[in-house]
């Protein structure tokens, strides 16, 4: 689990999210676009299909994909975020620093956006995805995630804990900086009832 700073308690927990509520509409990504570590490979696409038992020739047969107007094997639309994730590890880094059974790596590509304005939380998960797909991505492409505009912050207590639903707007772009997909993603960041 992450966190460790003092958590909001009692009736303070909602007001602790006020800086985020006040930041709605603000863009938090001011960094240059950083592309995913790897070009998309057919083996990675094929492995994406396996747990889904997703039998679609667009995603595993180059000739079929070309016959349907694509340059190469097509990335499933649902896999676009996968191929825009930052690497879990880079040469020179040490991310596994503890042998404790449930210790988490020092870096994680899927922790979502942190602004420094939100109160400390230990749990999070994605709750909503709205996506507009503007162009395809194929094997050989490199993708990046761009932008982090906060669209909503709604403090709420749910059955798992107290926290806030945070909705972010971002884009997935290719190497030509063409927008492949426009995403609105909502995360619930919270402190579990057992810990709050």
CB atoms within 10 A of CB 61: 14
Q: What SS3 state is found at 144?
A: strand
Residues 29-48 that bind other proteins (CB under 8 A): 47-48
Tokens of 10: 């009692």
CB 73 within 8 A of CB 64: no
H/E element, 166: strand 161-174
Q: How far is CA 121 from the centre of its chain?
A: 17
Report 137-166 residues binding other proteins (CB under 8 A): 159-161
d(CA 33, CA 53) in angstroms, rounded, equals: 33
By CB under 8 A, name the one of 51, 91, 92, 116 that touches other proteins: 51
CA pair distance 106, 80, nearest whole angstrom = 24
Residues contacting other proteins: total by CB under 8 A? 58
Contact pattern from residue 114 through residue 133 relative to other proteins, giving x for each residue in contact according to CB under 8 A and a dash for the rest: --------xxxxxxxxxxxx
CB of 58 to other proteins, least distance (A): 6
Which one of 33, 56, 106, 177 is in contact with other proteins (CB under 8 A)?
56
98 binding other proteins? (CB under 8 A): no
Q: Which residues bind other proteins (CB under 8 A)?
A: 1, 47-58, 64-65, 68-70, 74, 76-79, 81-82, 85, 88, 101-102, 104-105, 108-111, 122-136, 159-161, 190, 192-195
């Amino acid at each position: 689990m992450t966190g460790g700073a003092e958590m909001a308690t009692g009736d303070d927990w909602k007001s602790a999210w006020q800086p985020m509520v006040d930041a709605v509409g603000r863009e938090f990504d001011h960094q240059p676009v950083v592309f995913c570590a790897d070009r998309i490979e057919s083996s990675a696409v094929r492995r994406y299909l396996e747990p889904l038992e997703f039998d679609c020739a667009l995603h595993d047969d180059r000739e079929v994909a070309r016959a349907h107007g694509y340059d190469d094997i097509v990335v499933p639309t649902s896999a676009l975020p996968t191929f825009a994730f930052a690497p879990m590890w880079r040469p020179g880094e040490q991310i596994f620093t503890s042998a404790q059974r449930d210790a988490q790596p020092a870096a994680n590509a899927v922790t979502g956006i942190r602004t420094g304005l939100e109160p400390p939380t230990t749990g999070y998960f994605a709750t909503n995805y709205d996506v507009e797909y503007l162009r395809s991505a194929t094997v050989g492409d490199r993708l990046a995630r761009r932008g982090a505009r906060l669209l909503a912050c709604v403090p709420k207590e749910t059955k798992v804990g107290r926290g806030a639903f945070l909705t972010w707007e971002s884009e997935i772009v290719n190497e030509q900086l063409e927008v492949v997909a426009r995403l609105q993603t909502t995360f619930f960041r919270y402190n579990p009832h057992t810990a709050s």
